[in-house]
Chain A
Amino acid sequence: MHIGLDLGKCQGYGNCVAADEAHFDLDDSGLVVLLDDKVSEADRERVAAAVRSCPADALWLVENDG
């Protein structure tokens, strides 16, 4: 499982970072940076909540890797 990102949609709202600092950060231009795009089963709900918190619809979870 990993995080999908459409950087073109990111608006720098930062809700993902507020929800999960282990996977998300903002860069100097205000765009999201994935600190780790892999999602463990233990982190699934936290990352899913971070994804739902994105006002710009820029994030999603990819369930099946490979």
Chain B
Amino acid sequence: MTAERPERVLVVGSSVAGVRTAQALRAEGHTGELTLVGAEPHLPYDKPPLSKEFLAGTRGAEDIRLLPGGPEADHGFTLRLGRAAVALDVERRRVRLADGELLGYDALVLATGVRPRTLPAPVGKPVTELPCFTVRELSESAELAARLAKKEPVIVVGGGFIGAEAAATAAALGCPTTLAESGPAPFAALGPEVGALLAGLHADHGVEVLAGARVNRVEPLTDGWALVRLDDGRCLEAATVIVGIGCVPNTEWLESSGLGLNDGVVTDEYCAVPGADGVWAVGDVSRWYDRRTGGHRRVEHWTSATEQAALVARALVTGERRPFDPVPYLWSDQHGVKLQMVGRRSADDHVQAFTATTPTGDRKVVLYSRDGRLTAAVTFGWPRGCMTARQAWAKGADIADVTARLAGLTTALTPLDLSSSTYLEGNRA
């Protein structure tokens, strides 16, 4: 049986999901043992700034820490950093670390996150010889930041959020920047309308956006630069290649544990792992059962990770189980514009785009609906509009009602015709 109030709680993973779980456990009143394990040697830090302020050099490592105070501070729990967890024994309830230490638990929270995919190395060459960087870990991001400061040409592979943010940062630093997206259009995951608006934003800020640019391989050049060969024969040269082509969950260490793994750790709607007493999974690694859609989902968003952390901490301390039923929310910052999205869109949703005129400037919003109900909203530089849509989404709002409420925040909400956008055609191709 699962103890309602576990005495020893072990959290594996020192990014936001793990850290917020540990903090919420103490805030909720957990008084027993609490240990947080992390593979990286650094004090826990926040990842979103790695593609933005940290990369730009405006915030340093000590500015993006997730825990207040330095290494000597009392965080209210034991930190075991620089040692990855390598095995889990659910029968004996213990986790083995890379240095052989065994940590027992009454409750275990898995928060090992994801790691970025990398490009395959050229035959016979170690990938370390190439100036290729991912944006996920502090040390590598610091090295990348130092490189970008030289203002030399950059190629970003992948037009997702990480790639788009890194491209925006590189361009702002003065690096001639090319973004190579393998799909038919950049930023297509957010739909053609938002993709078109983003492509226009990048073009306005000097980023060259290439669609249909599938990378075949990257080769080293003699001066430390890289040659990026595309499938269609095009060759691009750059001092730095930033790779943002998605992530894979860190679950290899759990393969011998018997836990259900399927592109993440499979959990029930409470983020508890079925068949493994006292084991939970939160954050990017968790594939939880989503009642709303009737399927398992895994999302790599900051807010979702913190919401799952709060939910699991509460369940562990109070025994209160609530299904994880979030209002989907994400943000991105590109070229000084804050993009925020609430909800989930489908390709066949009804779409309306607007320019919102407000006393503090013009903003844009794209609204998605189905059967007259709001399914998703994307705002550009309009946090208040996003908040209004977020509150409405949570209540299952009527699209006309949401539009009226947004109009109420503006002096004019004017339909935005994207049909003339050069980028929309590409997005629909």
- Residue ranges of A at the interface with B (Cβ–Cβ < 8 Å): 11-15, 17-18, 21, 26-31, 45, 48-49, 52-53, 55
Stretch of B104-112, B113-121, B381-389 with 4 or more beta carbons under 8 angstroms from chain A: B381-389
Asked whether A29 lies within 8 Å of B360 as measured between CB atoms, the reply is yes
Which B residues between 11 and 68 are near A, CB-CB below 8 angstroms?
20, 23-24, 27-28, 46, 48
Asked whether A18 lies within 8 Å of B338 as measured between CB atoms, the reply is no
A sample of 18 inter-chain contacts (CB < 8 A) reads A14-B383, A14-B387, A15-B303, A15-B329, A17-B391, A18-B327, A18-B329, A18-B390, A18-B391, A27-B384, A28-B359, A28-B384, A30-B382, A30-B383, A52-B23, A53-B306, A53-B307, A55-B303
Asked if B250 is an interface residue, CB under 8 A from chain A, the answer is: no
Asked whether B28 lies within 8 Å of A45 as measured between CB atoms, the reply is yes
Report how far A35 CA is from B220 CA in the complex, Å.
57
- Residue ranges of B at the interface with A (Cβ–Cβ < 8 Å): 20, 23-24, 27-28, 46, 48, 302-303, 306-307, 310, 327, 329, 331, 338, 340, 358-360, 381-384, 386-387, 390-391, 394, 409
Asked whether B27 lies within 8 Å of A28 as measured between CB atoms, the reply is no
Report how far A14 CA is from B303 CA in the complex, Å.
10
List the B side residues contacting A27 at CB < 8 Å. 384
Q: A30-B384, A52-B23, A52-B310 are in contact. List 11 more A-B contacts (CB 8 A).
A: A15-B303, A15-B306, A18-B329, A18-B394, A28-B358, A30-B383, A45-B27, A49-B27, A52-B20, A52-B24, A52-B306
Given contacts A12-B338, A48-B27, A49-B310, contact A55 B409 (CB under 8 A): no
The residue in chain A whose Cβ has the minimal distance to the Cβ of B29 is A45
Q: What is the CB-to-nearest-CB distance from A13 to chain B, in angstroms, rounded to a whole number?
A: 6
List the B side residues contacting A53 at CB < 8 Å. 303, 306-307, 310
The residue in chain A whose Cβ has the minimal distance to the Cβ of B303 is A15
Report how far A26 CA is from B358 CA in the complex, Å.
14
Asked whether B27 lies within 8 Å of A13 as measured between CB atoms, the reply is no
List the A side residues contacting B340 at CB < 8 Å. 13-14
Asked whether B20 lies within 8 Å of A55 as measured between CB atoms, the reply is no
Asked whether A21 lies within 8 Å of B382 as measured between CB atoms, the reply is no
Report how far A30 CA is from B363 CA in the complex, Å.
11
Asked whether B390 lies within 8 Å of A14 as measured between CB atoms, the reply is yes
Asked whether B28 lies within 8 Å of A26 as measured between CB atoms, the reply is no
List the B side residues contacting A17 at CB < 8 Å. 387, 391
Asked whether A13 lies within 8 Å of B24 as measured between CB atoms, the reply is no
Report how far A27 CA is from B409 CA in the complex, Å.
10
Asked whether B329 lies within 8 Å of A26 as measured between CB atoms, the reply is no
Q: What is the CB-to-nearest-CB distance from A51 to chain B, in angstroms, rounded to a whole number?
A: 9
Asked whether B310 lies within 8 Å of A13 as measured between CB atoms, the reply is no
Given contacts A11-B338, A53-B303, contact A26 B383 (CB under 8 A): yes
Report how far A48 CA is from B66 CA in the complex, Å.
15
Report the 10 A-B pairs with minimum CB-CB distance, sorted nearest first.
A12-B383, A30-B383, A14-B387, A26-B384, A29-B360, A26-B387, A28-B360, A48-B27, A26-B383, A17-B387
List the B side residues contacting A14 at CB < 8 Å. 340, 383, 386-387, 390
Q: What is the CB-to-nearest-CB distance from B374 to chain A, in angstroms, rounded to a whole number?
A: 16
Asked whether B391 lies within 8 Å of A13 as measured between CB atoms, the reply is no
The residue in chain B whose Cβ has the minimal distance to the Cβ of A11 is B338
Q: What is the CB-to-nearest-CB distance from B335 to chain A, in angstroms, rounded to a whole number?
A: 15
Q: What is the CB-to-nearest-CB distance from B30 to chain A, in angstroms, rounded to a whole number?
A: 13
Report how far A45 CA is from B26 CA in the complex, Å.
11
Q: What is the CB-to-nearest-CB distance from A62 to chain B, in angstroms, rounded to a whole number?
A: 14
The residue in chain B whose Cβ has the minimal distance to the Cβ of A51 is B27
Q: What is the CB-to-nearest-CB distance from A28 to chain B, in angstroms, rounded to a whole number?
A: 5
List the B side residues contacting A45 at CB < 8 Å. 27-28
List the B side residues contacting A48 at CB < 8 Å. 27
Q: What is the CB-to-nearest-CB distance from B409 to chain A, in angstroms, rounded to a whole number?
A: 7
Report how far A31 CA is from B306 CA in the complex, Å.
21
Q: What is the CB-to-nearest-CB distance from B40 to chain A, in angstroms, rounded to a whole number?
A: 20
Report how far A31 CA is from B20 CA in the complex, Å.
23
List the A side residues contacting B387 at CB < 8 Å. 14, 17-18, 26
List the A side residues contacting B302 at CB < 8 Å. 55
Asked whether A52 lies within 8 Å of B27 as measured between CB atoms, the reply is yes
User: Which of B20, B302, B387, B394 is the most central at the interface, judged by chain A CB atoms within 10 Å of its CB?
Assistant: B387
Q: What is the CB-to-nearest-CB distance from B360 to chain A, in angstroms, rounded to a whole number?
A: 5
List the A side residues contacting B310 at CB < 8 Å. 49, 52-53
Report how far A49 CA is from B381 CA in the complex, Å.
26
